[in-house]
Structures are given as C-alpha cells and as structure tokens.
Amino acid sequence: MTALSPRTVEKGPVPNSLTTGQLPRFAELYIFGASAVVSGVLLMLIGFDVIGWLVLSAVVYLVLLGILSSLVENRRKAVDRLVRGLVTVAFLLAIIPLVSTLFTVVSKGIGALSFQFITQTGGSAFNPDTLEVTNTPGALQAIVGTLIITGIATLISVPIGLFTSIYLVEYGRPGQWLSRTVTFLVDVMTGIPSIVAGLFAFSLFTIILGPKAFSGFSASVALSVLMIPTVVRACEEMLRLVPHDLREASYALGVSKFATIVRIVLPTAIAGIVTGIMLAIARVIGETAPIFMAASFTDNFNSNPFEGPMQTLPVMAYTGFAFPGTDITASNNSAWGAALLLVILVVILNLIARVIAKVFAPKGSR
C-alpha cells in the first residue's frame, strides 16, 4: 500500500513536450479582449470612432498574438495563428459592406416608402397658370415596368435555358463537339458585361424598327441574354443530380425518352430548377445598365412592353441621382425608395428560392 501511494498523489497535468510551450486554450479570446480595450483607450485620447476602433483592435490583436505566440510557442505556430487571424479578418471585412449597404438602403429608403409611393405614378407636373412644378413621389410605373420586363425575360429565358440543359444532360454525349461547345459558350456567356447586353438589344431593335426603338420588350431581350446562361447552369446542375437508376428503371419499362424526361426526370428535379430560376430572376431584376440602354426611362405610366420607354426600379434609382428633377431632394428620396423596393424584391425572391429548395428537396440527397 505504501509503495503505491506516491503514484496516486500526483494529480493535474503532467508536464511533457505535448502540453508545455503552448498558449492557454482561450488565449485568442483573451488577447482579442485585451487589444480591444487597449485600442479603445488609445482612441479615447485622440477621439473615438467605431471604425477606427475596430481596425486598430484588429491590428493590435494580430501583432500581440504574433509576438506572444512566437515567444511562448515557436515561429511556425505563430505564423499559423497569424494566418488564422488574417483569414478571419478577411471574412469580417466582407460582412461590413453587406451590413452597411443594407443598413444604408433601409434607413434612407424607409422615409420614402409609403402606401402612396407604391400605388401612385410619380413625376412632376407643370401647371401653366401658376408656373409651378409639382412633384408627386410615386413608383407605380417603375414597379409595373420591372415586373413586366422581368416577367417577359423569364418567359423567354426559361424555355431556352431548360431545353438547353436537357440537351446537355440527356442528349449530348460528353465528347461530342456540340455539347462541349455549348457548355463552354454558356460559361463564357455568364461573363458578358450587362451593358453589352443592353447595347445588343438596342442595336437589334434599331436595325429592325428604326431609331428610337426604346421598348420594354427590348429590355427583356437584353435581360434574357444575361439570364439564359444562369438558368442553363442551374437546371443542368439539378438534372445531373437525378439518379441514373430512375432513368434506367423507366427505360426498362419501355417508356420512351421523351416521357422519361417529362414524367420522371423533370418532376424529380423540379424543386431545384424552380430555385435556380428564382435566383436567376433575382440576379437580373436589379440590372440597371441594360434596361437603361434598351428601355430608356420615363415618368409616364406605360404598361405596353412593345411601345415606348418604360420605367423600372433600378433605372429609377439611377436616374433619381444622375438626372434629378427640379427638386433634388425629392428626386434623391424617390431614388432611395426605389432602391429599397428593389432590395425587398430581391430578398423576397431569394427567400422563396431557399424555402422551395428546403421544403421540396429530395430526401436524403443532402
């Protein structure tokens, strides 16, 4: 008994090469707290500023962590910790513009947003008797224009995009030149500058209809050029996820290829396809330059996509700033209102897409 007791007496961590020479477990948290306090105090002396405080704490944190780690641990671990810190800072740097943008749009646009703003055609009216210009804020013409133009663009792009992706997945063989070329061109098309798409639509309709051929339909054509590649990529990805067993089972029962695709493959992938289309719509609904080129801008209410300029939300946000009316503040306000409406639309589309993807996702594949 007495011989065994010294062994059991020793408790706590045994010092060895694996546990010594390390910073304590939550050292990074402690050091961050310390650097936040230090830089906060330092900035109090000069003049406090939130952004300056965050930047300074990050710098102090990285320097402190590097020094401490290289003293207590070794150089390799110090570099490792430093890189971890840098990478985290990079991520936080990306969050700042996102939060700042959304905050700015909401705080500036919320003032302009009202029931009247949504349901009324805006613009300025000149009264010849009193020589007064009255501005009415309103975005109805832009909301209608955005919905019509994006709707037509969707009607054009979805069939073309869906059929192309069906070709790529079901009919094209991987080595065939057509499917290889189309895959490559679709990839390249995703990089077409949006303004070039606008110029294309403008040129097309100028040649066909003559000069001043601004119309909502022309803008839809421009948006389709941007939307088709996105739709093709999304649908292709989803169709490829459909298990081959399903197709083979269907063929084995003697079902034709057409019926297999329409009855088996598409219903299986439909949730993903709808999600992809929603995201594609969300992408093009905010495009400004092509609509600006092809549909120009106007304050008048125009719901005929085949004739005359058409106003849209992104163009309204742009022109409100670039070409303000007589009352600059009012123009800017309605620009912010339009921007907020646009962001709300995009967020709704994104949310719908996510919900569809979540609810109708095929079980077990994710």
For the purposes of burial, counting CB atoms within 10 Å of the CB of 333, is it exposed (0-12), middle (13-18) or buried (19 or more)?
buried
Asked whether 315 and 148 are in contact (CB, 8 A), the reply is: no
Asked whether 303 and 148 are in contact (CB, 8 A), the reply is: yes
- Closest distance to another protein from the beta carbon of 193 (Å): 2
Q: Which of 281, 286, 287 is nearest to 352 (CA)?
A: 281
Return the number of the residue (37 or 328) whose C-beta is nearest another protein. 328
Q: Which of 314, 324, 321 is nearest to 294 (CA)?
A: 314
- Closest distance to another protein from the beta carbon of 35 (Å): 19
Residue 258 and residue 251: Cα distance in Å, rounded?
11
Asked whether 315 and 327 are in contact (CB, 8 A), the reply is: no
User: How far, CA to CA in Å, does 365 sit from each of 47, 185, 238, 356?
Assistant: 55, 30, 12, 15
Return the number of the residue (35 or 250) whose C-beta is nearest another protein. 250
- Closest distance to another protein from the beta carbon of 276 (Å): 13
Residue 205 and residue 52: Cα distance in Å, rounded?
52
- Closest distance to another protein from the beta carbon of 327 (Å): 18
Angle, CA of 305, 311 and 317, to the nearest 5°: 150
Return the number of the residue (57 or 81) whose C-beta is nearest another protein. 81
What's the number of CA atoms in the CB half-sphere (13 Å) around residue 354? 6
Return the number of the residue (34 or 196) whose C-beta is nearest another protein. 196
Return the number of the residue (26 or 37) whose C-beta is nearest another protein. 26
Return the number of the residue (10 or 245) whose C-beta is nearest another protein. 245
- Which residues in 167-203 are b (16+ Cβ under 10 Å) and which e? ebbeebeeeeeebeebbeebeebeeeebeebbbbbbe
Return the number of the residue (31 or 317) whose C-beta is nearest another protein. 317
- Closest distance to another protein from the beta carbon of 6 (Å): 34
- Closest distance to another protein from the beta carbon of 294 (Å): 10
- Closest distance to another protein from the beta carbon of 45 (Å): 18
Per the document, the length of the chain is 366
- Closest distance to another protein from the beta carbon of 324 (Å): 12
Return the number of the residue (67 or 87) whose C-beta is nearest another protein. 87
DSSP letter for each residue of 134-178: EEE---HHHHHHHHHHHHHHHHHHHHHHHHHHHIIIII--TT-HH
